[in-house]
Chain A
């Protein structure tokens, strides 16, 4: 069975600071990994995904994530936070049938001026 752990339900950064949101997963098969973002009163929007190939993946809005098999991690980073990045971020792994997603509990990113 797949599972996802996101460390920290809330992360606070200052505008311009590095953003690091942590995600660790467990999977019985080579994982497909995703980061979704949810802005207030909106749906889940895909930020980036890893399926195969290059382990450093770039997404929208300047975010990137690195798949580290040895650490079973897929942490999300952004060099410089913007106020508009304030949202909830969800890490997810695709199940062994490569159809449904298992989500982490989410991390709320707070950005202060």
Chain B
């Protein structure tokens, strides 16, 4: 069964450092997403990406965040200068429209980012 894969599963970084979280979406999907879940809080939408550009983003997705699809298979989230409050589980997801309705989003296993 096709799946979304994320690497690494856990990343520890020092405050102020740049991190790149990587995702390989399902191959025939067209829309890609990043969500995050701060410990004990709800899963929050960050950004959606379609046709090589951001289609929607939340207030959380400020200038320190960026996304890229560098090679047609990977989908990355870069945090330029990490802060303690960026510590969270980051989920990648993908989906596609099908027969007039959206398919459900398929989620990866997540990357737990710890900023120290």
Which of A's residues lie within 8 Å of B, judged by CB? 32, 34, 36, 41-46, 49, 51-52, 90, 92, 94, 97-106
Contacts and interface: CB of A to CB of B under 8 A. Distances in A.
Residue of B6, B42, B56 contacting most chain A CB atoms (<10 Å): B42
B108 interface: yes
Nearest to A103: B43
A32 B101 CA distance: 10
B87 to A, nearest CB: 17
Contacts of B48: 99-100
A45 B105 CA distance: 9
Interface of B: 4, 6, 31, 33, 35, 41-45, 48, 55-56, 91, 93, 101-102, 104-110
Contact of A98 (B4, B102, B109): B102
Contacts, number: 54
28 contacts: A32-B101, A32-B102, A34-B104, A36-B107, A41-B109, A43-B4, A43-B6, A45-B107, A46-B104, A46-B105, A46-B106, A52-B101, A94-B102, A97-B56, A98-B102, A99-B31, A99-B55, A100-B33, A100-B48, A100-B56, A101-B35, A101-B43, A101-B45, A103-B35, A103-B43, A103-B44, A105-B42, A106-B43
A87 to B, nearest CB: 14
Given A94-B102, A99-B102, A104 B107 contact: no
B92 to A, nearest CB: 9
A43 B91 contact: yes
User: Is chain B's binding surface mostly helix, strand, loop or mixed?
Assistant: strand
B107 A44 contact: yes
Given A32-B102, A43-B4, A94-B102, A100 B45 contact: yes
Contacts of A103: 35, 42-44
Nearest to B41: A105
Contacts of A43: 4, 6, 91, 107-110
A51 B103 CA distance: 10
Contacts of B108: 43
Contacts of A46: 104-106
List 6 A-B pairs, minimum CB-CB distance, nearest first: A44-B107, A43-B109, A103-B43, A105-B42, A43-B107, A100-B45
